[in-house]
Amino acid sequence: MSSIEVRVRRFELDSGGFQERDDRIAADAAICVFINGELFRTLLASPVMIEELVVGHLRGEGVIESRDELVSVEVTPLKVHVELKGEVDLKRLTMGKVDLITTACGAAASPSELRGLGLSVASMEGSIEAESVWLMARELNLRSGTYRETGGTHAAMLFSLGGDPLFFGEDVGRHNAVDKVVGAGVLGGVEFGGCVLVSSGRLSGEIVLKAARVGVPVVVSVAGPLESGIRIAESAGITLVGFVRGRRLNVYTHEERVVG
């Protein structure tokens, strides 16, 4: 369930009094992720698309490189048991990271550590039209039903470079929303080098690094970037586009790929 109904008391400034009414708020829950029987991390997320969320988180955080490393993913209420091939050093995976990933922050490395992650520079054949980028952001907004209902979620979406919609996800956390569509792409066998990632959240270093790990060459948001996001996008060969609003957009890195 992505939203729940609650009873609220709303104060009306014009009338100077309270009114009782039913309202909907975004649902969230603590989801415990176990890898090969050991607790790996607890994610605070909207309790929908849980399998996609976990698979995308593992791929975006560099825990797995492909779907082939997954033996099984068992989703139970608020617990996900993942079995991976071979032994996994959880201490190494969580070194320097927190066990609880909140809706506001990720667990990615800093921009200065990008080289040490062994990431290849994203490549892309051809270019993408600015009109197509705008239409992708528009489609993201049109599909964000839980946000319109509650005002408490973020959304993310994967498109092909040609503008075809692939996967959509909403979550109380912008990182989780990205993880969900990445996970859907992993499970669906998508070639990320031919994709555009569109998000409603600000483009921080953590978000851009998730895209870099899977090889997405174009990352778009209706919000703005952070310095860390721009620096990682520049280093990783990612075209970073922000503030897609109205009929305008800002291109921050590798602008040669965006044409009028």
Q: Is the pLDDT of residue 143 over 70?
A: yes
Q: What percent of the chain has pLDDT over 70?
A: 88
- CA atoms of 28 and 150, how far apart (whole Å): 12
- CA atoms of 60 and 11, how far apart (whole Å): 43
The per-residue pLDDT for range 187-234, each reduced to its tens digit, is 999 999 999 999 999 999 999 999 999 999 999 999 999 998 999 999
If you search the block for the tokens 């099984």, which residue do you land on? 72
- Indicate if 195 belongs to the active site: no
Q: Would you say the C-alpha torsion 169, 219, 94, 186 has a positive or negative sign?
A: positive
Which residues, 6 or more positions from 131, have their beta carbon under 8 angstroms from its beta carbon? none
- What is the token pair recorded at 95? 């070194």
Q: Would you say the C-alpha torsion 75, 49, 194, 240 has a positive or negative sign?
A: negative
Task: Record the pTM.
Answer: 0.87
Catalytic member of 8, 39, 105, 121: 105
- CA atoms of 77 and 101, how far apart (whole Å): 19
Q: Is the pLDDT of residue 75 over 80?
A: yes
User: Which of 21-25, 136-140, 213-217, 234-238 is least confident?
Assistant: 21-25
Beta bridge mates, 251 = 241
- CA atoms of 147 and 158, how far apart (whole Å): 18
What DSSP letter does each residue of 127-176 carry, written as one string?
Answer: -EEHHHHHHHHHHHHHH-HHHHHHS--EEEEEEETTS-EEEEEEESSHHH
Question: Quick one: 128-259 is in which CATH superfamily?
Answer: Cytidine Deaminase, domain 2 (3.40.140.10)
The per-residue pLDDT for range 147-170, each reduced to its tens digit, is 999 999 999 999 999 999 999 999
